[in-house]
A and B are shown apart, each in its own frame.
Chain A
Amino acid sequence: MNKTTEQDVSNPVEDAFVADAALAPAFFAWLCRMGDNALILGHRVSEWCGHAPALEEDIAMANTALDLIGHTQMWLGLAGEVEDKGRDADALAYLRDALQFRNLLLCELPNGDMGLTLMRQFLFDARHHLMLEWLTRSASPRVAEIAAKAVKEASYHLERSSDLVVRLGDGTEESHRRMQAAVEQLWPYVDEMFVTDAVDDAMAAAEIAPRPCDLRKEWDETVRSVFAEATLDVPGAVGFAQTGGNLGRHTEHLGYILAEMQFLQRAYPGASW
């Protein structure tokens, strides 16, 4: 061994769920959802690096992206162990194609302006934080320890994004207009965060994770209170919801993200720093 890499460092925590073959397909799919949300949103947010309107926001965005990529390594690393086919976090991130990705459509939407980026972050953070808080009590010790680590960072994300939604929503006429436009544009992607399917039911039955639909009430309360302070209107029912990301049906935007993110590993398989 010449140098220590992430893959060489073992995690000794015992967790019977990791080797549970009956549970593995659902557990793997669920872990990919957690990891892919963090990876794709982290990649999107990183696109602001060097382009944000203020240096502090540029740094904040890079830090947020870094946290999310860190979460990705933990979730997809565990997904690889559960799958048990020799794929590590890098293999899952770099060598799957769009149809195998399980992220929410919200995470892959283009950044738009800062208003859209921050609104997307807030809508995601509010749900992410609730999810991670629940997961700190997961029956799976490996899931619980990842969540306990990640929730500390997600608290800072939510604090920042809710603060900025208030400041921009209740800011100038122009910033208010952009924030309200961002809400209207993103609202059709909100329901997908709470879609609950057989994978979620299997995780909930094993007490590993909550049913996403059960997080909706508290999410609504958070969003309503922040929007009230931000003088933003909560849209009424949109009548339809864009869904399918967690089953692998994506918008056309995901392919472009993967083309950039995966290029190096596709062109030079196995390349490392």
Chain B
Amino acid sequence: MAATLNTSAVLPAVDVVWRWLAEVPDPEIPVVSITDLGIVRSVHYDGDTLVVAVTPTYSGCPATAVIDLAIEEKLRAKGTDKLRLERRLSPPWTSDWITAEAREKLRAFGIAPPIDGTSASGVMAARARRMTGKGNLVVACPRCGSTHTERVSQFGSTPCKASWRCKDCLEPFDYFKCI
């Protein structure tokens, strides 16, 4: 009597896949993983096909394609045969989804983590910021901890970062901006 091969029995559990994905570093900021950043939105099976939904941080971020490739490489290396990646645009990614541990990793790496709720949210916000000078955003220097800092530019070395500098230790640093 021929044995029936139950393929579902050999498919890895979803939480195991999540752990594998937690090992995939962000290509731009390798101290944090793609799950730390909150860009993996869901993992599920469609029949025996593993479906991983990923959301981009910024719509033009060149790392998006690299991240897709890294996910595929990791899951193939773990033996995944049938895989489908999906692009998930809504809800749009927000820096609020970066985990607490990841924020400390960013700080240790020299990037000031985002301060939630301070994103530019439109004309009124921009107008208010202009009227009140630079606004009341206080970003601590990731090196010396001083809050005596200033913004150099809202746009930094990657789409997700702004350029700041510390007026105490005089070092420039990146601030992971809120969006």
Contacts and interface: CB of A to CB of B under 8 A. Distances in A.
B35 interface: no
Specify which of B54, B122, B123 lies most central, judged by the most chain A CB atoms within 10 Å of its CB. B123
B104 interface: no
Contact of B159 (A9, A66, A144, A146): A66
B163 interface: yes
Contacts of B159: 63, 66-67, 153
Interface in B111-153: 119-123, 125-127, 129-130, 152-153
A251 B4 CA distance: 68
A71 interface: yes
B77 to A, nearest CB: 14
A133 interface: yes
A126 B126 CA distance: 11
A225 B127 contact: yes
A121 interface: no
Contacts, number: 131
Given A4-B68, A9-B86, A60-B154, A163 B130 contact: yes
Contacts of B127: 162, 225-226
Contacts of B56: 70, 149
Interface string A139-150: 001001110111
A10 interface: yes
A163 B125 CA distance: 12
Contact of B59 (A3, A9, A10, A74): A74
Contacts of A226: 127
Given A8-B85, A149-B59, A3 B92 contact: no
Contacts of B119: 152, 155
Interface in A114-137: 126, 129, 133
Contacts of B94: 152
A147 to B, nearest CB: 9
Interface string A1-33: 001111011111100000000000000000000
B92 A9 contact: no
* Interface size class, chain B: 35 or more
A4 B155 contact: no
Given A4-B85, A13-B90, A129 B122 contact: yes
A4 B152 contact: no
Contact of A70 (B59, B71, B120): B59
B53 to A, nearest CB: 8
A66 B61 CA distance: 7
Nearest to A158: B126
B126 A66 contact: no
Contacts of B126: 155, 158-159, 162-163
A159 B128 CA distance: 10
21 contacts: A3-B69, A9-B86, A13-B90, A56-B153, A59-B155, A63-B155, A63-B156, A63-B159, A66-B61, A66-B159, A68-B60, A70-B61, A74-B59, A126-B123, A129-B123, A145-B90, A153-B59, A153-B159, A155-B126, A160-B155, A163-B126
Interface of B: 53-54, 56, 58-62, 64-65, 68-69, 71-72, 84-94, 119-123, 125-127, 129-130, 152-157, 159, 163, 177, 179
Nearest 4 Cβ contacts at the A-B interface = A70-B60, A70-B59, A60-B155, A145-B90
